[in-house]
Structure 1
Amino acid sequence: MINQVKQRWWVLGALAVGILAVGLDMTILNLALPVVATELHATNGELQWFADAYNLVFAAMLLPAGLLGDRWGRKKLLIIGLVMFGAASVVCAYASSSWELIAGRALLGLGAAFLVPLSMSIIPVLFSEQERPKAIGTWMMANALGIPLGPIVGGWLLNHYWWGSVFLINIPLVIIALIAVILLLPETRSEVKQRVDLIGILASSLGLVSLTYGVIEIGEKGWGNVAALSTMIGGILCLGLFTLWEKLTKQPLVDPSLFQSSKFTWGSILAAIISFTMFGVLFVTPQYFQAVQGVDALGSGLRLLPLVIGLLLGAPLSDKLQLKLGTRVTLTLGFFILVTGLVVGTNTGANSGYGFTSIWLTIVGLGIGLTLPAAMDIAMSALSTEHSGIGSALIMSLRQVGGTMGVAILGTILGTYYRNHVDLNGLPKEAAEYVQRSVSSGVAVAQKFDSTVLLSSVRASFVTGMEMMLWVCGGAAALGMLLSVICIQKKTNSNMTSELKQNYE
């Protein structure tokens, strides 16, 4: 029994290593883009597709990947996902043209779409109600830590090796996860065989791709761009049609009864709110460190370590608090801490010392570490063994939408306040337009004109936008706290006992 208990934790640990590779890949490329652009002679459009190819394929395939795992076997599809992710990393590392790299990034997104939800789907299958919070905390930490660690690892690799090394770092992580899955993870699948809901797959994939791409375009071109706005609205309409179809069809892709569970519904909504806030903070802070504080990308990544420390402290503490005080109290406390950190962060100025910034980043990390595992635990407690794959994929889809919308909406707020406050008096028209593009562009123009007045205005204007953005993040976190009090039951119960779990124990 002891060896069997250890075995499932070894499996989760190995999968967490694989998930860490996915998190790293989300941000590590950003650091290498200037070098890649030079080496591959990439245009601005191609640079955008380096990121979009990954994001769009990932969004499109999340739900189908979850369904296929339930139908054909989660272990089998996890192995396929890991192999694809490893192979795609090699393709990206040795790409000799922009389109080779774009193709590799698309394959990376496909591998991640299998790896992320299916690695999460084994948690309700293998772990008891008492063990599940700890297991989710472990998985969540690996998923979240890769994002801020990407710039740190990427900066070190780029200082010592060629740009392809930022992709080859995935290979040892994938190999570790692959060996553990093959040797230790038993196969599980749904016992109920049903036809594949092709219309549901098409509608959900098209909706998620259109919504994601529309939001990305809005972030680049603004809410006034008709094409971007139309694409986003089209995606929302497709998702609406998908929801209607799932209610009408006899064998839906997503079981509508999931949303009849208050645990699944509110747990997923709270997880999306947390992702909205977290991606907003990760969007604005690197720009603050680089453009306002004047540090390089590696230094920016290192300055995000307090956020990582907060996450490392919060996730295991969340597990203990849930056992002692219950999930509702843990969520409410976590959201309160998150709101506190964000409100403190609104006082950050252009001349604030790093000590002040590190304090509120640690508080924010602690709040996220407390809330995200608890919210996901609630949602996953409603998943049966039969549908853990598609259910996990749906949770991740909602988190993906929350994070993407966070970057778009919060980025718009940041950009609007920046453009409205920056002083452009005396600048040539072309230079003024360039300053308005972003804070980095503004700093570049100020340095080119050797204007300390413009530089001060650019930085002060960005900080004004950052302040308002953090207030909106705080409002979202406050909404999460309110929903936790009103909508989360005092105690959550789970009937997640499967034959597999009994065999382990």
Structure 2
Amino acid sequence: MTTGYDDPRRWWALAALGLAVLTLGFDITIMNVALPTIATELEVGTDALQWMVNAYILVIAGLMLTCGALGDRYGRKRLLLIGLGLFGISSSIAAGVDSAGPVIAARGVMGMGAAIMMPVAFAVLAALFGPAERGRAVSLLVMGLGVGIPLGPIIGGYLLEHFWWGSIFLINVPIAIIGAIAIAFLLPESRDPTPRRPDVLGAVLSTAGLTSLVYGVIEAPSRGWSDLATIGPITAGLVVLAGFVAWELRVRDPMIDLHLFRRPQFLWASIAGVLVTFGMLGLLFVVPQYLQFVTGHDALGTGIRLLPLIGGLVVGAPAGERLAARTGYRVPVSAGLAVLAASAALGALTGLQSSYGFVATWLATAGLGIGMALAPAMDAVLDALPTEHAGAGTAITMTLRQTGGALGVALLGSLLAEGYANRVHTAGLPAEAAATARESIAGALAAATRLAEPSLAASAHAAYLHGMTLVLAATAITAGLSALLTALRLPGKPSAASVDDHRTLGATTSDDRDV
């Protein structure tokens, strides 16, 4: 059976991978629209709801580096099947329980499956597609992951309107089964032909350090950046990660090769991916709340109104891939970041009387910029890696994106909260209602309804819009500076090291990629 770059099944295998990452994408956001329903049905408080969301994010961030390295060592197809199995089984468990604890545990196991699939899915592309086709393959996989994120509110809203809350988990099960069958039959196995000895200490240090760091970042918006519950985990995480770096640089067989950062193409493409993710998650953090609480749409209506972002992404990813094929990586990545900056700046002009057509315009433009930049950035990362180490290498990039995204949401969330709290008018309200109104726009609108105070609702709308303006302005500035930095530092053409790697790959025997 043919394997490698000439395998006729490779595009069908890519479709199976795309289905898997699409599920991962919408599972990042589908919980957000379900939280009010779950809170009512399971009678749980805010802390439990937060852990239902954060358990997934924490496990992904903590395990992704280790899982990418395991894929290189033990076989990427095998790891993908394990990841899909964990994801499907834990989703079916979450759909059938009736208390918060099992849901949180199941979400953690789902995060474990996602931590396996995210880096390994991209690493497989290096073994399936040669340089001439890989850009297109990467753009399609990026589209799958990117489209899934804004699809979460749409799918969740529809399911919650027609079925019970557990359906948001149960929908993962048939997709996981179909994906596993397709991967089992269509995907050739690929692994490092000369695997290193397991780096157990490196795996422990990276998992502990990343989990602690991301936990502290997640806690920051609610507890404050000066709270001990924030500072302690962040400091501990940074110390442990410093120990991880020191260990990886001295051990004979490291889990990941940190010398990859000496390659400008890998370094700056990874940084660009983090910065694009920062901008995308910034938009997805503020816009759904604007659509739901300021303009008054329900969960499904909010999700549908995010479709222009998806449309822009679907257009932008293949456009970036084609531009990269003609001009190299620098042009589409820096141009995409510039388009994202312009769209965020335009979004910052949104007012209380702005039409949805105006909002849809800048959302579509943002999606265009995200797609243009993210797909070539991921292709540049893969192009800079030896194929046998593609899992560990992409895991580095995906971990940086996950951690950077969590940090971005925390920073932008703090900016939004401060901008909102400083503008909402609570004078004359009972103390408890005033505190609730200052905490969030949802709390303010609930208090306004309860107290029959339309002026409070109007003030909350204006205050939220002010906070959103600050977030979008910060996103525009960050993306604009990122575009300039990328234009100056990201190599325009494949690095000499990556070219040598691909030449070496051409001589690899079929034993290195057995079916």
- Residue 359 of structure 1 corresponds to 361
Deviations 1:200-248 (A, max 9, x none): 1111111111111111111222223221122122212222221122112
- Aligned equivalents of 2:279, 2:492: Cα separation in 1: 25
- Aligned equivalents of 1:331, 1:358: Cα separation in 2: 23
- Which amino acid is 1:168 matched to? L
Once the two structures are TM-superposed, the CA of residue 452 in structure 1 deviates from its matched residue by: 2.4
Between 35-44 and 372-381, report the one with greater CA deviation.
35-44
- Residue 97 of structure 1 corresponds to 99
- Aligned equivalents of 1:5, 1:253: Cα separation in 2: 30
Q: Report whether the alignment pairs 1:191 with 2:193.
A: yes
- Aligned equivalents of 1:4, 1:262: Cα separation in 2: 30
**Structure 1 unpaired stretches of 5+:** none
- Residue 116 of structure 2 corresponds to 114
- Residue 470 of structure 1 corresponds to 472
Go from structure 1 to structure 2 and tell me whether the alpha carbon gap of 1:55 and 1:10 turns closer, same or farther (over 3 Å shift): same
Decide whether the 8 Å contact of 2:61 with 2:214 is kept in 1: yes
Once the two structures are TM-superposed, the CA of residue 499 in structure 1 deviates from its matched residue by: 5.4
The partner residue of 1:436 within 435, 438, 458 is: 438
- Residue 24 of structure 2 corresponds to 22
Once the two structures are TM-superposed, the CA of residue 374 in structure 1 deviates from its matched residue by: 1.1
- Residue 135 of structure 1 corresponds to 137
- Aligned equivalents of 2:185, 2:390: Cα separation in 1: 22
- Which amino acid is 2:83 matched to? G
- Aligned equivalents of 2:231, 2:264: Cα separation in 1: 32
Once the two structures are TM-superposed, the CA of residue 382 in structure 1 deviates from its matched residue by: 1.2
- Residue 429 of structure 2 corresponds to 427
Once the two structures are TM-superposed, the CA of residue 156 in structure 1 deviates from its matched residue by: 1.0
Residues 273-288 of structure 1 mapped to structure 2, 5 A cutoff: 273-288=275-290
Decide whether the 8 Å contact of 1:200 with 1:252 is kept in 2: yes
Once the two structures are TM-superposed, the CA of residue 176 in structure 1 deviates from its matched residue by: 2.2
- Aligned equivalents of 2:36, 2:507: Cα separation in 1: 49
- Residue 333 of structure 2 corresponds to 331
- Which amino acid is 1:119 matched to? A
- Residue 406 of structure 1 corresponds to 408
Once the two structures are TM-superposed, the CA of residue 193 in structure 1 deviates from its matched residue by: 2.8
- Residue 224 of structure 1 corresponds to 226
Secondary structure of the structure 2 residue equivalent to 1:347: coil
- Residue 290 of structure 1 corresponds to 292
The partner residue of 1:396 within 380, 395, 398 is: 398
- Aligned equivalents of 1:348, 1:237: Cα separation in 2: 42
Between 130-139 and 304-313, report the one with greater CA deviation.
130-139
Secondary structure of the structure 1 residue equivalent to 2:9: helix
- Residue 343 of structure 2 corresponds to 341
Decide whether the 8 Å contact of 1:126 with 1:501 is kept in 2: no
RMSD over aligned Cα atoms: 1.8
- Residue 45 of structure 1 corresponds to 47
- Which amino acid is 2:443 matched to? S
- Residue 163 of structure 2 corresponds to 161
- Aligned equivalents of 2:152, 2:16: Cα separation in 1: 19
- Residue 383 of structure 1 corresponds to 385
Residues 223-302 of structure 1 mapped to structure 2, 5 A cutoff: 223-302=225-304
Decide whether the 8 Å contact of 1:90 with 1:168 is kept in 2: yes
Decide whether the 8 Å contact of 1:125 with 1:500 is kept in 2: no
Deviations 1:65-109 (A, max 9, x none): 111111111111111111111111111111122211112111101
Once the two structures are TM-superposed, the CA of residue 123 in structure 1 deviates from its matched residue by: 1.1
- Aligned equivalents of 2:7, 2:15: Cα separation in 1: 13
Between 283-292 and 22-31, report the one with greater CA deviation.
22-31
The partner residue of 1:75 within 74, 77, 82 is: 77
Once the two structures are TM-superposed, the CA of residue 500 in structure 1 deviates from its matched residue by: 9.2
Decide whether the 8 Å contact of 2:311 with 2:364 is kept in 1: yes
**Structure 2 unpaired stretches of 5+:** none
- Residue 55 of structure 1 corresponds to 57
- Aligned equivalents of 1:502, 1:460: Cα separation in 2: 64
The partner residue of 1:446 within 445, 448, 454 is: 448
Q: Which runs of 4+ in 1 moved over 6 A?
A: 500-504
- Which amino acid is 2:429 matched to? L
Between 398-407 and 47-56, report the one with greater CA deviation.
47-56
- Aligned equivalents of 1:350, 1:233: Cα separation in 2: 41
Decide whether the 8 Å contact of 2:415 with 2:471 is kept in 1: yes
- Aligned equivalents of 2:250, 2:445: Cα separation in 1: 55
Go from structure 1 to structure 2 and tell me whether the alpha carbon gap of 1:8 and 1:500 turns closer, same or farther (over 3 Å shift): farther
- Which amino acid is 1:329 matched to? V
Q: Report whether the alignment pairs 1:203 with 2:205.
A: yes
TM-score, scaled relative to structure 1: 0.96
- Residue 214 of structure 1 corresponds to 216
Between 275-284 and 448-457, report the one with greater CA deviation.
448-457
- Aligned equivalents of 1:501, 1:210: Cα separation in 2: 40
- Aligned equivalents of 1:121, 1:471: Cα separation in 2: 35
Once the two structures are TM-superposed, the CA of residue 455 in structure 1 deviates from its matched residue by: 1.5
Go from structure 1 to structure 2 and tell me whether the alpha carbon gap of 1:111 and 1:500 turns closer, same or farther (over 3 Å shift): farther
- Residue 10 of structure 1 corresponds to 12
Once the two structures are TM-superposed, the CA of residue 4 in structure 1 deviates from its matched residue by: 4.7
- Aligned equivalents of 1:123, 1:500: Cα separation in 2: 18
- Aligned equivalents of 1:224, 1:428: Cα separation in 2: 28
Secondary structure of the structure 1 residue equivalent to 2:97: coil
Total equivalences in the alignment: 504
Decide whether the 8 Å contact of 2:327 with 2:492 is kept in 1: no
Deviations 1:267-326 (A, max 9, x none): 111100111111111000011111111111111111111100000110111111111222
- Residue 152 of structure 2 corresponds to 150
Decide whether the 8 Å contact of 1:126 with 1:500 is kept in 2: no
- Residue 86 of structure 1 corresponds to 88
- Which amino acid is 2:317 matched to? A
